[in-house]
Structure 1
């Protein structure tokens, strides 16, 4: 059901939700950017609608709410194990369409990929999503080509309109409150883009032979293996485990799940001193093909949602969308080599 709320009513709506939900949305963080004296837009808690950045794309995704960078799973002593407490309150996360599609990808990996991750699920069960409409595309977006520019599986949508906000509510328990607060009840359809400046058409005929293409060698020299692309990406799901032992008792501590990156040294280290994908080009190949080949083979659609954050955050200006654009010629190359 559609509602129009002025700024004061929107803040009241947030206040009424606050006892039950922590509200997370893109916010401006001063002097927190990649370079000195630059700002960044990333997710933080909000209490007022005016704190939400609607007119810029966040540099980092919502992912840290569902998958904390470091999450304690349980505590241990010599004789006991105690599960760490989960979230006490629910979470209401403001996301754009591409990120809402990214949630679907995370759910596939953590809930439907042959097992159900208990720690992810206990957070996920308490989360609702607010769709932020996109009236215009941003510079790095290629969501239309990745078929993520529209999403209709939200709990609430919200976007600025004149001096207030347009909402489309799909959570029945909020209807009475919104009817009390609203100034009118228009028909509301969340805004979405139909074309983007950046294009990234994935070839339909890709085969695993693409792994032998020479295009990957380019990234041996260009990529510095910092892993920023992985941590900015809303669909990267890799993690490692760390056992932390307390200094006052070396037999007690905690086990943590910590975000990991396939682009950094040590990710493929194995017992005995071995390490796979030592070259950065090999790591780039693994990441790209996982996003647009392996995942699709398993689930039927691409893992990449076209948000463009990896393009924006890379210190070497490596473009993921640009890499996708090279795949057609690379496939022709390997097919020609096979024919010789």
Structure 2
């Protein structure tokens, strides 16, 4: 159901949400960017409606809300193991763009339906509500239209600010009751209301990507991957900003010198950095950066689809923006598509 709220009413709704939920969304953090005089937009706890950043896509994804960068799994002593409590005591309400809501579907596949269910992900995932942020214009590097992630219906509420106030679409009975208490009337009950009251979605991107339908072994041996041996510096930033990368490593942190008390942590990891594919005996599956680039790209556009039926990449474009060497994931995918056509 659609509603139209004045800004002051939206602020009151926001305050009511804060009483029961941890509010998370993209916010501008002044002076915390790559350089001392630059800002960064990343997900954090929201204190006010004005904290939400609408004009710029976040540099980092929402992922930390359901996959903490460092997550304590359990504590151990000489004789006991105690599971750590969930990171949040209250349920969370997360403001997301359409591409990021599609990314949650990918995380669910990996952590909930990929052979076994991850209980640490589940307990955070079950306690979130998704609020779609209207996205009328495409970001510069995004290619969500090509990936089919520019539109979604998988949200509890949708919010779009405008000159006349804030439009809200609710699929959530609790929100309907809150809006009624605020005196908000449904849009379709107001004079001159628009029957097609819908969220704002981008319809076209400047960046367009063609996903190859059929890839054979010749792509693995293609010389294009060797170009990334020297271009890529193996920093892993593309993985850490990606909303669908799910790799992690484990760390045991000891509290005492005897190593019999401490905690086990799950920590975000990257397939692009040194050490990720190291194995016992000094072996390494992918030493060259080009090999790592190949693994990442083919996993996003081919391997994941073979298992789950759709592409892993959601076309947010964050990896293109964050790379210090200006390596473009979208351009690489188009090169792979062109190579696949030549082979066929």
State whether TM-score is above 0.5: yes
State yes or no: 1:320 paired with 2:329.
yes
Distance 1:179 1:271 in 2: 62
Give me the whole-angstrom Cα distance separating, in 2, the residues matched to 1:294 and 1:155.
31
Alignment of 1:206-285 (within 5 A): 206-247=215-256, 250-285=259-294
In structure 2, what is the Cα distance between the partners aligned to 1:189 and 1:180? 23
Q: Tell me how far 1:260 sits from its aligned partner.
A: 0.3
Corresponding residue of 1:198: 207
CA distance in 2 between partners of 1:163 and 1:244 (Å): 53
CA contact (8 A) 1:21 1:90 kept: yes
**1:170 & 1:47 partners in 2: Cα distance?**
24
Cα pair 1:7 1:49 within 8 Å, conserved: no
Determine the C-alpha separation between the residues in 2 that align with 1:48 and 1:2: 23
Q: What SS class does the counterpart of residue 281 from structure 1 fall into?
A: helix
Give the corresponding residue for 1:123: 124
Partner residue of 1:13?
13
Post-superposition offset of 1:49 = 1.4
Distance 1:208 1:110 in 2: 29
- Give 1:39-188 correspondences, 5 Å limit: 39-86=39-86, 87-186=88-187, 188=197
Shift of 1:332: 4.8
Q: Is 1:6–1:182's contact at 8 Å kept on the other side of the alignment? A: no
**What is the rounded CA distance, in whole Å, between the counterparts of 2:69 and 2:164 in structure 1?**
37
1:220/1:43 Cα in 2 relative to 1: closer, same or farther (>3 Å)?
same
Matched-pair contact (CA < 8 Å) for 1:5–1:182: no
Helix, strand or coil: the match of 1:288? helix
Are 1:54 and 1:159, in contact at CA under 8 Å, matched by a contact in 2? no
Tell me if the contact between 2:235 and 2:273 (Cα under 8 Å) persists in the aligned partners. yes
1:37 corresponds to 2:46: no
Q: Distance in 2 between matches of 1:43 and 1:163?
A: 27
> Normalising by the residue count of structure 2, what TM-score does the alignment of the two structures yield?
0.94
Superposed displacement of residue 19, structure 1: 2.6
2:111 partner SS: helix
What secondary structure does 1:323 align onto? helix
CA–CA separation in structure 1 for the residues paired with 2:17 and 2:9: 13
| Cα distance in structure 2, aligned partners of 1:12 and 1:151 | 27
| 1:214 and 1:330 in contact (8 A); partners too | no
Query: Does residue 301 of the first structure (1) align with residue 310 of the second (2)?
Result: yes
Q: For residues 14-38 of structure 1, give each alpha carbon's deviation from its aligned partner in whole angstroms, at most 9, with x where no partner exists.
A: 2212232100011000111123311
For normalisation by structure 1, the TM-score amounts to 0.96
Give the secondary structure class of the aligned counterpart of 2:296: helix
Unaligned runs of 5+ in 1: none
Question: In 2, are the aligned partners of 1:101 and 1:148 still within 8 Å (CA)?
Answer: yes
Deviation at 1:142, TM superposition (A): 0.1
Change (3 A) 1:248 1:102: same
CA shift in 2, pair 1:76/1:149, >3 Å: same
Q: By how many angstroms is 1:182 displaced?
A: 4.8
What secondary structure is seen at the aligned counterpart in 2 of 1:144?
Answer: helix
